[in-house]
Amino acid sequence: MRRILSLAEHPAWKDRAARWFHEKWGIPLEAYRESMEACLRRESAVPQWYLAVEAGRIIGGMGVIENDFHPQRDLTPNVCAVYTEKDCRGQGVAGALLGYVCEDMSARDVDTLYLLTDHETFYERYGWTFFCMVQGDGETEGQAPQEDPAVLALDSRLLVSPGLALEQAHAAACRMAALAQDNFSLAREMILSGVEEEKAARSAAIQKGLEGCTKTPFEMMELAVETLELTASILGKSNDSAASDLGVAVLSLQTGIRGAWMNVCINLGSLRDKELAKSCREQGEALTKADLFALGLSGGTGSAERRRRLLKRLDLPEHLTANGMLEALNLLFSREELEALLAETQAFDKI
């Protein structure tokens, strides 16, 4: 039975995997061991290593490292050391590995991967797209690295992984359209109930409609926040010509979030279900990753330094993860209080 394994979840394969990659690529065995030990320490999402295994034999594998020996250091992380045993090629091993790696890295909050290759069409069939040409190190899949200095300067194709963030954003947009239709239907029911129902029944119908007209824009707001976070995750990782499109998307989503929240708030006071009203208000007022992005604390130039200085100012650990920082800020501030703090201290310039 063929299986795809993550070394992080199957550490017993470490030594065999290191020897296998060493034999295929000629990179020093110790280099693989060190990278795999770093993977097993789980200190960060990168590096990771993956194996395709059948009947106790490694038949394919690949890794994810910060940089696969090319000068574009900002295009990270990179899929590397892609190899399938010759007698197993043409059986979908590499495709299965690539799909597993993309999903696993997405679960680790890494939605964009890059891959250096000399192949012209192989990876495109799995949804990868050409990004740019870079100076590679002369390696080609399935061959050991070249040592000829003349080869080291060869240009190679740098590909970008399937647009997981874009696909998720598209799915969110489809759900938004469905919610908008639901909201229209609920509003229509409320209007018709005033004509066709007796007073008591009409009152119950109106409450049902109010609940729907509160939940629907609230879900719309959640989807817009999710899509804004996805948009932020691909900033700087797409072609420069798409920068204006992403900017328009960010502005539109921010407006959509505010508009949906206004629609929620206008109904909260009329809801008889006070628990629902309280829950919606608390969730709607909580800080999100989208707020951090809007405040310049994530996803943009200098955001990491702003976060570090803000955490230092608040006497919080300077290396908190984004999720840890978000949890701490929600305990300390409302959105308005955080905005006021940043404004008072001229945070955008000084933090």
**Pair (76, 122) in one structural domain:** yes
Specify the range with the lowest mean pLDDT, choosing from 90-99, 221-230, 251-260.
221-230
Among 251, 285, 319, residue at a domain's last position: 285
Is pLDDT larger for residue 307 or for residue 300? 307
**Pair (157, 175) in one structural domain:** no
3-state secondary structure of 57: strand
* Residues near 151 by beta carbon (within 8 Å), at least 6 away in sequence: 138
Among 137, 162, 187, residue at a domain's last position: 162
pLDDT confidence of residue 251: 84
Residues of the chain above pLDDT 70, percent: 74
pTM of the model: 0.50
pLDDT confidence of residue 139: 46
**Pair (187, 145) in one structural domain:** no
pLDDT confidence of residue 179: 62
**Pair (205, 62) in one structural domain:** no
The string of pLDDT tens digits covering residues 22-67 is 999 999 999 999 999 999 999 999 999 999 999 999 999 999 999 9
Mean pLDDT of the chain: 78
**Pair (18, 102) in one structural domain:** yes
Number of domains in the chain: 3
Domain that holds residue 325: 294-351
**Pair (169, 155) in one structural domain:** no
The string of pLDDT tens digits covering residues 225-257 is 777 777 766 666 665 666 787 778 878 887 888
**Pair (142, 223) in one structural domain:** no
Q: Give the max Cα distance, the chain.
A: 88
pLDDT confidence of residue 109: 85
Mean pLDDT over residues 253-277, rounded?
Answer: 80
Residues of the chain above pLDDT 90, percent: 29
Among 128, 162, 196, residue at a domain's last position: 162
Buried b (16+ CB within 10 A) or exposed e, 245-282: eeeebbeebbebbeebbebbeebbeebeeeebbeebee
pLDDT confidence of residue 147: 37
pLDDT confidence of residue 143: 41
Select, from the ranges 77-86, 101-110, 131-140, the one with the highest average predicted confidence (pLDDT). Answer: 77-86
**Pair (101, 250) in one structural domain:** no
Instruction: Give the distance from CA 219 to its chain's centroid.
Output: 20
DSSP state letter for 85 = -
**Pair (190, 319) in one structural domain:** no
pLDDT(267) > 90: no
**Pair (337, 212) in one structural domain:** no
**Pair (142, 245) in one structural domain:** no
pLDDT confidence of residue 214: 77
Phi (first) and psi of residue 272, to 5 degrees: -80, -25
**Pair (236, 322) in one structural domain:** no
pLDDT-derived band at 141, boundaries 50, 70, 90: very low
Domain with residue 113: its CATH number is: 3.40.630.30
Domain with residue 209: its CATH number is: 1.20.120.680
Please answer whether residues 53 and 59 qualify as being in contact, where contact means their C-beta atoms are separated by less than 8 angstroms: yes
pLDDT(153) > 90: no
